[in-house]
């Protein structure tokens, strides 16, 4: 699987409502410093190309992803599950694109007193299976949190917060090569040769399923997603 990452950017903003003559610099007075308000946050944009190149907003699979049926296709993703070792769910003809645009992450605190937003929390959601609390008193009020938002300056019908395309041409279950050897006692299900892993096999020619995310604007056009509101992550 070939993955290409493009850089993401970290920005820190400081807003200072101070009037200073452009032609001079001078020390700030205590009164002026008291009037300064600051804020910091992370603005994140991310692009990921997985076995594709973009051509006119359409995603074209790299040439090695187009192989004849029954032959090994290197564009794949394999998943092995607990208690199902040596058995792999393999997604073949796997390629796609993801573009997350302008995510805002900010450190905040949850309200410490009951408000319209904090007085209806369910304490049972903060309990482990044995009934003990994962956070103090099973009460999230006043906790530090990460707030995730997207820009709200969007017009009607604008869906550009996330652009994505995904193709899985074939799904099949593959197993480790029957002739594989396992010499690492601490990893008894890990073959000595990488070529013997189930995700490298082409033993099963059947197709259990196929999967595709796209848009009707073109053969391989991006699905377009819009996010409104905010999400709070806490309890860490």
Beta strands, E only, 111-222: 144-150, 162-175, 209-213
- Residue 123: φ, ψ to 5°: -60, -25
The pLDDT tens digits of the residues spanning 116-174 come to: 555 567 889 889 999 999 988 898 888 889 999 988 778 888 888 999 999 999 999 99
| pTM of the predicted model as reported, rounded to 2 decimal places | 0.64
Domain boundaries, the chain: 3-234
Condensed to tens digits (0 to 9), the pLDDT of residues 26-51 reads: 777 777 777 766 667 888 899 998 99
* Residue 226 and residue 154 in contact, taking contact as beta carbons nearer than 8 Å: yes
Residue 32 CB coordination number (10 Å): 14
């Amino acid at each position: 699987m070939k993955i290409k990452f493009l850089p993401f950017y970290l920005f820190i903003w400081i807003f200072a409502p101070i009037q200073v003559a452009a032609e001079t610099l001078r020390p700030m007075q205590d009164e002026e410093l008291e009037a300064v308000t600051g804020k910091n946050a992370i603005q994140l944009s991310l692009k990921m190309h997985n076995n594709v190149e973009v051509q006119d907003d359409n995603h074209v699979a790299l040439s090695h992803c187009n192989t004849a049926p029954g032959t090994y296709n290197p564009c794949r993703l394999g998943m092995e599950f607990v208690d199902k070792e040596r058995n792999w769910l393999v997604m073949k003809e796997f390629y796609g694109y993801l573009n997350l645009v302008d995510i805002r992450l900010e450190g905040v605190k949850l309200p410490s007193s009951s408000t319209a937003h904090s007085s209806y929390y369910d304490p049972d959601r903060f309990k482990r299976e044995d009934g003990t609390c994962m956070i103090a008193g099973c009460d999230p009020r006043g906790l530090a949190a990460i707030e995730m938002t997207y820009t709200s300056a969007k017009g009607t019908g604008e869906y550009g917060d996330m652009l994505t395309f995904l193709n899985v041409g074939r799904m099949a279950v593959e197993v480790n090569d029957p002739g594989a050897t396992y010499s690492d006692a601490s990893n008894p299900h890990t073959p000595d040769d990488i070529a013997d892993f189930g995700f490298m096999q082409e033993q099963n020619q059947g197709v259990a399923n196929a999967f595709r995310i796209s848009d009707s604007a073109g053969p391989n056009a991006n699905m377009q997603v819009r996010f409104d509101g905010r999400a709070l992550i806490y309890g860490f």
